[in-house]
């Protein structure tokens, strides 16, 4: 096969891939528009989207996207109930239930806040973020500034170089831990911050 033929075949393959992506994108948009334009009753009733990965709720006579069900079970019927598996998601995805999820790449723990998923913690351990039954396991959990919180216990931030505290429902910087031990849990089971190095 000549160089020109190879180049022509490569361009054709690329064009077909782009076309397939556009078709899939248009199909997703058309599906969402169809549901948003549909009328419904009664108020707060729900249905699964045609893709099996979205959950719509009836609000003021029209369906609204309530949650994206990217967990392994998607959106499904459980007897007379409709359930949405939100155990996996992307940052910015709509969420209908307060709780936590794993990012699709398994590296971040997410939290549902004000109807959208945001980053809660990184999971740098070898097991990453995984769904275990109905709970989320984050290996080597390192919390992010701004993540929702309750209580007064401190936590270590990303890279274990900071100690964070809960203030007004969000994690904020408490101390920089630039010493060699960083932020760590001691033998006394208390959180410590190595401040032997300052700048």
Query: Comparing C-alpha atoms, which of 87, 90, 80 is closest to residue 118?
Result: 90
For residue 20, being part of any structural domain is answered with no
DSSP letters, 74-137, are -EEEETTEEEE--SEE-TT-B-SSSSEEEETTSSEEEEEETTEEEEEEE--STT-EEEETTEEE
Q: Are residues 127 and 157 in the same domain?
A: no
Q: Among 84, 116, 131, identify where a domain stops.
A: 84
119, part of any domain: yes
Q: How many domains does the chain have?
A: 3
Same domain, 199 and 148: yes
Q: What range does the domain containing 53 cover?
A: 29-66+79-84
- The mean per-residue pLDDT over the stretch 32-54 comes to 79
Contact 84, 101 (CB under 8 A): no
Residues 133 and 153 in one domain: no
Q: Answer whether residue 72 shows pLDDT above 80.
A: yes
Same domain as 101, residue 90? yes
pTM for this prediction: 0.64
- Residue 20 or 128, more confident: 128
Same domain, 157 and 123: no
Which of the pair, 81 or 39, is modelled with greater confidence? 81
pLDDT, tens digit (0-9, with 9 covering 90-100), for 76-121: 999 989 999 999 999 999 887 778 999 999 999 999 888 899 988 8
| CA atoms 83, 127, 143, 117: torsion sign | negative
Q: How confident is the model at residue 149 (pLDDT cuts 50, 70, 90)?
A: confident
Per-residue confidence (pLDDT) for residue 53, from 0 to 100: 92
Q: Is 196 inside a domain boundary?
A: yes
CA-to-CA dists, residue 142 to 53, 76, 189, angstroms: 29, 33, 17
Residue 6 lies in a domain: no
Q: Indicate the pLDDT class of residue 147, thresholds 50, 70 and 90.
A: confident
What is the average pLDDT score of the chain?
A: 81
| Residue 45: pLDDT over 90 | no
pLDDT at 89: 94
Asked if residue 61 is part of any domain, the answer here is: yes
Judged by average pLDDT, the poorest of 3-7, 84-88, 152-156 is 3-7
User: Given this model, what pLDDT does residue 159 score?
Assistant: 87
Is residue 104 domain-shared with residue 128, that is, in the same domain?
A: yes
Instruction: Check whether residue 146 and residue 179 sit in a common domain.
Output: yes
Tell whether the model's pLDDT for residue 177 goes beyond 80.
yes
Q: Is residue 1 part of a domain?
A: no
Quick check: 3 pLDDT over 60?
no
User: Bigger pLDDT: 155 or 36?
Assistant: 155
Whether the bond between 86 and the residue before it is cis, its omega within 30 degrees of 0, is no
Residues 132 and 179 in one domain: no
The verdict on residue 15 lying in a domain is no
Residue 41 lies in a domain: yes
């Amino acid at each position: 096969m000549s160089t020109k033929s190879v180049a022509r075949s490569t361009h054709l393959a690329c064009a077909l891939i782009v076309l397939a992506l556009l078709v899939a994108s248009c199909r997703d948009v058309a599906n969402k528009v169809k549901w948003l334009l549909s009328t419904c009753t009664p108020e707060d009733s729900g249905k699964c989207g045609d893709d099996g990965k979205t959950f719509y709720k009836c609000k003021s006579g029209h369906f609204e996207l309530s949650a994206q069900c990217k967990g392994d079970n998607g959106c499904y019927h459980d007897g007379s109930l409709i359930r949405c598996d939100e155990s996996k998601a992307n940052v910015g995805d709509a969420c209908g239930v307060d709780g936590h999820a794993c990012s699709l790449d398994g590296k971040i723990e997410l939290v549902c806040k004000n109807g959208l998923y945001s980053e809660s913690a990184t999971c740098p351990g070898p097991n990453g973020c995984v769904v275990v039954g109905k709970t989320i396991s984050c290996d080597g959990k390192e919390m992010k500034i701004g993540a929702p919180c309750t209580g007064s216990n401190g936590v270590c931030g990303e890279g274990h170089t900071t100690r964070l505290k809960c203030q007004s429902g969000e994690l904020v910087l408490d101390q920089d831990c630039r010493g060699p031990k960083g932020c760590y849990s001691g033998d006394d089971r208390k959180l410590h911050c190595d401040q032997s190095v300052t700048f």
